Structure 1
Amino acid sequence: MLTPRHSYRSDEEDSARWTDFPFRDGDIVISTRSKSGTTWMQMICALLVLGTPELPAPLTVLSPWLDWLGEPQGTVYDRLAAQPHRRFIKTHTPLDGVPLHPRVHYVVVARHPLDMAVSLYHQSANLDRERIAELTGQPAPTGPPRERPAVRDWLPSWVDQEVDPRAELDSLPGVLLHLSDAWARRHEPNVELVHYDDLLADLGGEMRRLADLWKLPSPAPELVEAATFGRMRERADRLAPDTLGVLRDRQAFFRRGGSGQGRDLLDDAARARYEARAATLAPPDLLTWLHR
């Protein structure tokens, strides 16, 4: 068993749940930051592996979030052990927190951090915090909910936030830590980086590229159509990651699939501040690729 170099734990997830996981040759591990295309890549994997848009179970059942504490580890292990097909498993843990096996595939989806942050802001209002606390064994939130600033006012503070990137993975330092680790591994034969904007620009081409890398059949047009944002939003009841009732509105999970919304919310000075801060947190070639 290969031991990860780092451990990641929060109130809701624990990367240690990967330590004893019995991998199979050909497994696909989907490693992303929150709101960076996780569910989209899970759907792409489901379509490529199963070869049909009519999934036999909700997407989150087919592709569980292994390190989430809302479900017992044994339950998740047993469900994956019972799957006869190639498995595709979700994690928000960076690759340095997951065992890396040479016969397992790892795919990391990258999204412009400002766009990811805007989606994260809206997603926060759609989460049932009491239900999440119940599932993860945490104290229920008390008192009235805090009033949030408008997203236009919140985003610059997210850019400027000084935090430990290994403790606050959805911060700007945490996002760029996750992607920098994957970027350093991009030449490894079983690690693949996918840009969110490439999925927007040429979904069919990206699906065919991944199918070729993973030795899977090339997707028919109806499979590519099933992976479009609009079609996924129509099927939110089956595709949103919510079998245990943590979302207030499943359709709102698929709020918007576009790009550029974060940059449009910042004025010139705030955009310059973001670019300067990002330059201290990630290598320039990664940022050129990420921001293109």
Structure 2
Amino acid sequence: MEDSHRWLDFPLRDGDIILSTRSKHGTTWTQMICALLVFQTPDLPAPLTELSPWLDWTIAPKATVFARLEAQRHRRFIKTHTPLDGIPVHPAARYIVVARHPLDAAVLLYHQGDNIIRERVAELTGEPVPEAKRGPRPELHEWLVAWTLSENDPREAPDMLPGVMAHLSDAWRRRAESNLLLVHYADLAADLEGEMRRIAAWLDIEVDETRWPELVKAATFGEMKAKADQVAPDPAGLFRSRDAFFRRGTSGSAAELLTPEEFAAYERRIESMAPKELLTWLHRP
């Protein structure tokens, strides 16, 4: 359902905000924060998926996505799951990469698989449901262990462990670049207002002090879940439940699903994929 080649034909504007994330790393949360900062009101003028289209998503025709973005007069903020090494890096655009504890993201990805209507995907893409997606799924523990040991090509399976670490490692190498901001899901959870203020300052967006309380409240988990019909990334009806998309997860809790031996194997595996500084940052409480 993704085609990063679209970026080659897309005309970027100065000031565009590109949100480059892996699945279940806080994409929708960061889109909402950007929407609140750009419009400076909880009453957004359109559903979040219209304000911040997923440019690579092939279910939405390329011409339609490009035309929608071309018509936007506000500062654009665009979603992609493509790593930075797969999209043009415009010197006058801003890029935000959101990271999360990999095991937590994996568990949420597993649950999202139960929420996707595969037949609807097949209907819209014209492709049959893949053999691997048919029949009963393995239990969460079995699936998570396999995820930690996966050796998939990051380009073919970007949401498996090698793909996640390739995406984050590439961003980490670029972290000193002035038009790149790294955001950690755990920081959003621990200090939402502080992180929203940090993002606003980095984007050179000024917010009246009187507006901050309502903007921060609108970005909380409870408020976003209450508006799932307007906020969930499901314009084509792929989810069984938009409400179920917002599944609360505690940072670091997924590690408890593995035995000590399995977690040690995960640590050994991931140590070969990324620099120690990134792993320390990624796995901190």
Does the 8 Å CA contact 1:110/1:195 hold for their aligned counterparts? yes
Matched, 1:275 2:267: yes
Task: List gaps (5 residues or longer) in structure 2.
Answer: none
Matched, 1:248 2:237: no
Q: Give every structure 1 segment of 4 or more consecutive aligned residues whose post-TM-superposition deviation is greater than 4 Å.
A: 140-144
Q: State the partner residue of 2:219.
A: 227
CA displacement, residues 99-155 of structure 1 (integer Å, 9 cap, x when unaligned): 001100000000010000000000001001111122223135689942112212211
Q: For 2:4, which of 12, 15, 20 is the aligned residue?
A: 15
Distance 1:81 1:144 in 2: 36
1:211 matched to 2:192? The reply is: no
Structure 1: gaps (5+ residues): 1-11
Aligned to 2:98, what secondary structure does the other structure show?
Answer: strand
Answer with 95-104 or 143-152: which moved more: 143-152
Assess, with a 3 A threshold, how the Cα gap between structure 1 residues 275 and 221 changes in structure 2: closer, same or farther: same
Larger mean CA deviation between 161-170 and 136-145 belongs to 136-145
Q: Where does 1:85-124 land on structure 2 (aligned, <5 Å)?
A: 85-124=74-113
What value does the CA root-mean-square deviation take over the aligned residues? 1.4
Counterpart of 2:74, as a letter, is H
Q: What's 2:15 paired with?
A: 26
State which of 146, 149, 164 in structure 1 corresponds to 2:153.
164
CA–CA distance in structure 2, aligned partners of residues 94 and 255 of structure 1: 24
- Secondary structure of the corresponding residue to residue 208 of structure 1: helix
Once the two structures are superposed, residues 40-63 of structure 1 have per-residue CA deviations (whole angstroms, 9 ceiling, x without a partner) of 000000000010111111101110
Supply the distance in 1 between the matched residues of 2:202 and 2:173 (Cα, whole angstroms): 19
- Name 1:195's counterpart in structure 2: 184
Aligned to 2:251: 259
Tell me if structure 2 keeps the 8 A contact 1:27–1:87.
Answer: yes
Residue deviations 1:234-277 (CA, integer Å, cap 9, x gap) = 11010001111011100000011421231111111111111100
Percent sequence identity over aligned pairs: 62
Q: Name the structure where helix makes up a greater proportion of residues.
A: 2
The number of residue pairs the alignment matches comes to 281
Q: Provide the secondary structure at the position in 1 that maps to 2:9.
A: coil
Q: Does 2:55 correspond to 1:66?
A: yes
- Residue 130 of structure 1 contacts residue 141 of structure 1 at CA under 8 Å; is this kept in 2? no
Counterpart pick for 2:46 among 52, 57, 70: 57
Q: Which moved more, 1:265-274 or 1:86-95?
A: 265-274
Normalising by structure 2, we get a TM-score of 0.96
Matches within 5 A, 1:124-163: 124-140=113-129, 145-163=134-152
Q: Distance in 1 between matches of 2:228 and 2:170?
A: 32
Asked whether the 8 Å contact 2:104–2:249 carries over to 1, the reply is no
Residue pair 1:35, 1:120 contacting (<8 A) in 2 also: yes
